[in-house]
Structure 1
Amino acid sequence: MSVDHRRLGRELDLFDSDPLIGAGLPFWLPGGAAARREIESYLYELERRAGYRHVYSPAMGRRRMYELSGHWANFADDMFPPMRVGEDELVLRPSLCPHHALIFRARGRSYRDLPLRIAELGPMFRAERSGVVGGLSRVRSMLLNDAHIFCAEDQAGAEVAGVLSLMRRAHAALGMGPVSYRLSLRGPGKKYGGDDAMWARAEALLRGALADERIRYAEARGEAAFYGPKIDIQVADPSGREWTLATVQVDYHQPRRFELEYVDANGGRQRPVMVHRSLAGSMERLFGHLIEVHEGAFPVWYAPVQLAVLPVGAGQDEAAGGFLRDALDAGLRAEAERGGSVGARVRKHRKVPYLAVIGAREAADGSVALRPRDGGRPVPMPRAEAIALIGAAASAGRDGQAGADARDRP
C-alpha cells in the first residue's frame, strides 16, 4: 500500500484540519510544528551563510501593485478577490516577488551592492478550488521559502549555478533528491510579459547554468512563468507522479515594470536582472513530500521527537524524569512514556530515532539502554554519553551530513 501523507500525518499528530477553519487550511499540531520549525531554522541559516539577507514583508498589497507586476493580468483567477478598505483595494498576495522588487527600489543601489540576495519565509495565498485542495499538497494558505537575487546581467549565470548547488545541499540534508530537472519555456496559447530578446537572454542564462553544473534536463514548452523561463526541480510521490518542489527563474520583465535601477561603475543607470528561487517550496508541500519519503520516520535532526524515555516500571519514574530533564536542557526534543508494557511503548514510538529504556539496573547506576530506530540491540551507556550521541547525530544530519554536496544526477 502506498504511503499517503494525509493519513500518516494525522496518525502521527503532525497536522489536521477542521471544517470550521475551511478546506485547504490545515493547522499544524505540536509534533509537526516542531519538525517544521527545525527545517525553517536550517533553511534560514543555510541562506544566511550563502550571503542572503532576510526581510519581512506584508501578506497583502494594493491591487495596483499586482497590476504593475503582471500578476493581475496573468494570475487573477488564482488570487482571492480584492478587499475594499476605504479607497484602497487590498489583495492577499499570491507571490512575494512584487514586495521584494519594492524592497530593492526602496533604497538607492550601486553596482557595489550587487548581487543583492533578499530572502523571506513568507505567507502567500492561492484561491484553489474546493475540489482540488487536500492534505498539505494543495492548500490555500502557505508559507513559502522564497528569495530574489538582484544582480548585473554578467553575474546572473553564476548566481543561478550557485542556487542549484545550494539546492542540492538542502535536499541532501532533508534526505530526499530530485528525479529530474526541467527547463520550462514559453509555449503557444498563453500570455507572457516582456519581448523576445528578453526571453532569449533569460533562456540562455539558464541553459548556461545547467551546462556549468553538468545537469541533464528536459524541456517543457508552455510551463514558464509569465515573466520568464525557469528551471524546475522535480520530485516524485509514491505513485510515481512528478511535481515541482524547487525552482529558479530569470526575470527581465518585473525589473522593467517596477523601473528598478542601480548605478554602474561609470555612473550610468542600469536595469538589474531578477533571479527568483525557492530551495524547498512551501512548507506545506515540502512536508507532504517528506512524510511520504520517510514514511513519518524523519531524520534525527528534524524528527518531532528525537528521544523517547521509557521507564520499565514505576520504580524508575524518578530516574526517567531526571534523564528527560537533562535531555531537554541539552536541546533535544524528548518525551517520557509511562504505563503499559515496554513492548507496546516501543511499538508506539517506532518512528522515534532513539528510545532510552530505564530499568532497575540503569536507574541504580545512572545509565540508559539506548535503542536506535533501525532495530539494533539496546546499548547500555551513561546518560550524558547517550545525550551527546543523539546530539551529534542530529548535528551531523543537519550541518555535516555525508554527501551533502554530492551532485545528484538524474
Structure 2
Amino acid sequence: MSVDHRRLGRALDLFDSDPLIGAGLPFWLPAGAAARHEVESYVRELERRAGYQHVYSPALGKRQMYELSGHWANFADDMFPPLGDDGADGDALVLRPSLCPHHALVFRSRPRSYRDLPLRIAELGAMYRAERSGVLGGLHRVRSIWLNDAHVFCAPAQIGAEVAGALALVRQAHAALGLRAASFRLSLRGGGGKYAGDDAGWAEAERLLREALDAAGVPYEAAPGEAAFYGPKIDVQIADPAGRESSLSTIQVDFHQPERFGLSYADSSGRPARPVLVHRSLVGSLERLFAHLIEVHAGAFPVWYSPVQIVAVPVAAGQQAAAEAFVREAVAAGLRAEVDHDGSVGARIRAAAGRKIPYVAVIGPREAPDGRVVLRLRDGRQLPAMPGAEAVALVRAVAAARIPGLVPDVV
C-alpha cells in the first residue's frame, strides 16, 4: 500500500492548511519547517561551493516585464490577474510565475565583461501559479511555490560545461536527500505549442543538452511537446512508491530571454556580445520535493533533516535532570533534541517511533550518575550504554555525513 504524503504529513505535524487561507496554500508547521530549513541550508551551501551567488528578488513585477520575457503571451492563463490598474502602460503588478525575468534584470543591473562569465545567480524564491482548484492536492500541486532556482549567464562556448556541471549537482543533491531518479527526459518542441526563438537556437540548445546527457552516461528519452516556451530542457523524473512519475529537477538552455532583455557583456575585444541563459533547479519546488520525500521515506527522513533527531526519555523523575543536561549538550552541538517525560517509558518510546524520530536516549538510574545513555534506534536496534558525549558525537557524525543509515560505518 502506497504512502499518502497528505495523511502522513499531517499526522507528523509537518504541514497543514485552512479554508481561511485557501486551497493550494499550505502552511508549514514547526516540524516541517525544521526539515525544510535543513534542506534549504544544504542546497544553498552546495550551490555556494559550486560558484553560485545568491540573491533575493521581489515576488511581484510589472506586467510589462512579463510581456518582455514572453510569459504574458505564453503563460498568462497560469498567472494570477494583475493587481491594481491594468491599463495599456503595463504598470499593474503581477505575482510572478517564475524567477528568470528578475534574474535577467540582476544581470543587466551592472556592466558585465567576459571575465565575469559564467555568472551563476541562485535564489530560493516564491512564485505563484493560478492552478485550478480541481488539480490541487497536498504539496504536489499548489498555488504558492518556493522554488530552488538558478540562472547561469554564460558565453556560448561555456554552455556545455555549465549544463554538465548543473547535471552533476542535481545528481549530488538527489543522492544526499535519498532520492533516486526514475528517468531522465529530454523535453523538446512539439506540434501545436507556442514557442519563442528561432530554429537555429533550438537546434543548438538541443544538441548541447544531448551531449551533456550522453557524457553523464544516463539513459534518457525524448519527449516532444514538453519543452518550455523559450527552450528545450532536461527533466529529471522521480517516481513515488506507487510508480507515478513527475518532474522535479530541470536544466534548460535559453537563447530567447537574453535577447528580449537586451543582455550583453563586453567580449575580449571590448565588443558587446550576447550571453546565453542556462536555467536550472537542483531540487525543484520545496513543496513537490517534500511531498515526494515524505512518501519515499514514509516520514522517516534521513537523520540530517529529521525534524527531531533525538529525544531523551528519563525512566523516572530522578533522571529528569540528567535527561535535560543531555539535551542541552545535544542542542549545543547543533542537534535538534528534546526531552519527553510524560507517560510510561514504553509509551514514550512508542510515541517517538510514531513520530519517526531516529534516536531515543533512555536514561535510567544506572546511566544517570555517570552521564550515560542507552540509544534505541528507529529501526529497532539498541546500542550498549555509552557516555552522553559519545552519543551526541555519533548522531552528529551520521547527520554530517548525510548517510541513509543510523550509525556510522565504524559502529
Q: In the TM superposition, what whole-angstrom CA distance separates every residue of 1:184-225 from its partner, at most 9, and x where no partner exists?
A: 000001110001111111111111111111221000000000
Structure 2 residue aligned with 1:408: none
* C-alpha separation in 1, matches of 2:33 and 2:230: 34
Matched positions, count: 400
The alignment partner of 1:227 has SS state of coil
* C-alpha separation in 1, matches of 2:200 and 2:155: 17
The alignment partner of 2:74 has SS state of helix
Structure 2 residue aligned with 1:9: 9
Q: CA deviation at 1:339?
A: 2.2
* C-alpha separation in 2, matches of 1:124 and 1:131: 20
Structure 1 residue aligned with 2:70: 70
Preserved contact between residue 371 and residue 379 of structure 1 (Cα < 8 Å):
no
Map 1:99-138; keep pairs closer than 5 Å. 99-138=102-141
Aligned-partner residue type, residue 361 of structure 1 = R
Task: Say yes or no: does 1:259 pair with 2:259.
Answer: no
Preserved contact between residue 312 and residue 342 of structure 1 (Cα < 8 Å):
yes
* C-alpha separation in 1, matches of 2:319 and 2:85: 62
* C-alpha separation in 2, matches of 1:378 and 1:154: 55
Structure 1 residue aligned with 2:142: 139
Preserved contact between residue 302 and residue 403 of structure 2 (Cα < 8 Å):
no
The alignment partner of 2:133 has SS state of coil
Taking structure 1 as the reference length, what is the TM-score of the superposition?
0.96
* C-alpha separation in 2, matches of 1:366 and 1:377: 18
The alignment partner of 1:84 has SS state of coil
Aligned-partner residue type, residue 380 of structure 1 = A
Q: CA deviation at 1:372?
A: 1.6
372, 384, 390: which one aligns with 1:367: 372
Aligned-partner residue type, residue 4 of structure 1 = D
Structure 2 residue aligned with 1:404: none
Preserved contact between residue 42 and residue 398 of structure 1 (Cα < 8 Å):
no
* C-alpha separation in 2, matches of 1:366 and 1:193: 67
Map 1:31-70; keep pairs closer than 5 Å. 31-70=31-70
The alignment partner of 2:375 has SS state of strand
Task: Say yes or no: does 1:387 pair with 2:388.
Answer: no
* Cα distance change on mapping 1:106 and 1:73 into 2, 3 Å: same
The alignment partner of 2:258 has SS state of helix
The alignment partner of 2:135 has SS state of coil
195, 199, 205: which one aligns with 2:202: 199
Structure 2 residue aligned with 1:300: 303
Aligned-partner residue type, residue 305 of structure 2 = Y
Structure 2 residue aligned with 1:232: 235
Preserved contact between residue 313 and residue 339 of structure 1 (Cα < 8 Å):
no
* C-alpha separation in 1, matches of 2:255 and 2:86: 34
* Greater Cα offset, 338-347 or 104-113: 338-347
Alpha carbon RMSD of aligned pairs, Å? Answer: 1.4
* C-alpha separation in 1, matches of 2:40 and 2:79: 26
The alignment partner of 2:313 has SS state of strand
Identity %: 70
Q: CA deviation at 1:86?
A: 9.3
* C-alpha separation in 1, matches of 2:63 and 2:84: 10
Structure 2 residue aligned with 1:290: 293
Structure 1 stretches of 4+ with a deviation exceeding 4 A read none
Structure 2 residue aligned with 1:342: 345
Task: Say yes or no: does 1:80 pair with 2:80.
Answer: yes
Runs of 5+ unmatched residues, structure 1:
402-410
Task: Say yes or no: does 1:212 pair with 2:248.
Answer: no
* Cα distance change on mapping 1:331 and 1:85 into 2, 3 Å: farther
172, 191, 195: which one aligns with 2:175: 172
Runs of 5+ unmatched residues, structure 2:
407-411
